[in-house]
Amino acid sequence: MADTITKPEVKKAEPWFGKKERQLISDPLNDNNPITVQVLGICSALAVTTLVYPSLVMAVAVIFVLVFSNLITSLLRTYIPNQVRMIVQLIIIATLVTVVELTLKAYSYDVYKKLSVFIGLIITNCIIMGRLEAFAMSNKPWKATLDGLGNGLGYGAILIAVALVRELFGKGTLMAGSGAEMKIIGASPDYMINTLESTLFGWYQPNNLMVLPAAALFIIGIFIWIHRSWNPKLVDIS
């Protein structure tokens, strides 16, 4: 540092939305997708993607927690002692989740009831801690916020795509459990929520395999296949 040319310090203002900043959002959607490339957040992807609606709720919750925990960790990054950094990160995540939980409990009890099931899954979602560890601990707050947003979106996109396939073929519906429930294919099977009659592909028998967690693994595997065929620079050469 000492032998660099000491010009009078003119701080060049960094643009808010320069190329680098835009990349922070777009990278996780493609080249550096949290699920299909970084292999983070698989557990929750297996647990909630049986239906589209819980996946949507989960995606929104994770984006929220990810953005704010990235921001807070980045603000505190120079003060966090290395020896206890994991505990500190988890305290930040758990506190944020609890604040969200309390707010919803006081102002929107129905949403709270829907979300409370996922609280454990959000805290243990490795995307959040993974991004704190890999990015927020060593970057400025604004960049960390964008990184959180980008990764949250990338995660949510895969989550909803997997859920669309699983719900459509496993139950024949879309958005079951919410107000916007639609029955898409198949005759009316026994275990259908608010079945609306539909004759589209009436011969279709909902495939129970799709409901099992194993199906999510197959679908994500196939997504990775498609993703890498289309974007060959991600192919595993090892």
> Which of 25, 29, 80, 161: binder of other proteins (CB under 8 A)?
80
Residue 161 is a binding residue for other proteins (CB under 8 A): no
Residue 130 is a binding residue for other proteins (CB under 8 A): yes
Backbone angles phi, psi at 65, to 5 degrees: -65, -40
- Three-state SS letters, 154-188: HHHHHHHHHHHHHHHHHHCEECCCCCCCEECCCCC
Q: What is the DSSP letter of 149?
A: H
Closer to other proteins at the Cβ: 33 or 145? 33
**Contacting range for other proteins; rule: CB under 8 A; set: 16-24, 63-71, 121-129, 151-159:** 121-129
Contacts with other proteins by CB under 8 A: the residue count is 83
> Which of 94, 149, 164, 187: binder of other proteins (CB under 8 A)?
94
> Which of 65, 128, 158, 159: binder of other proteins (CB under 8 A)?
128
Cβ of residue 209: shortest distance to other proteins, in angstroms? 8
**Contacting range for other proteins; rule: CB under 8 A; set: 6-14, 19-27, 122-130, 154-162:** 122-130
Q: What is the DSSP string of 22-73?
A: HHHHHGGGTTT-TTTTS--SHHHHHHHTTSHHHHHHHHHHHHHHHHHHHHHH
Structure tokens at 20: 């680098």
- Contact by Cβ (8 Å): 204, 189: no
Residue 151 is a binding residue for other proteins (CB under 8 A): no
Cβ of residue 1: shortest distance to other proteins, in angstroms? 18
Distance CA 91, CA 70 (A): 13
Q: What residues pair up with 174 in beta bridges, in sequence order?
A: 182
Residues 31-70 binding other proteins (CB under 8 A) are 36-37, 39-43, 46-48, 50-51, 54
The pattern of x and - marking residues 182 through 211 that bind other proteins according to CB under 8 A reads --------xxxxx-------------x--x
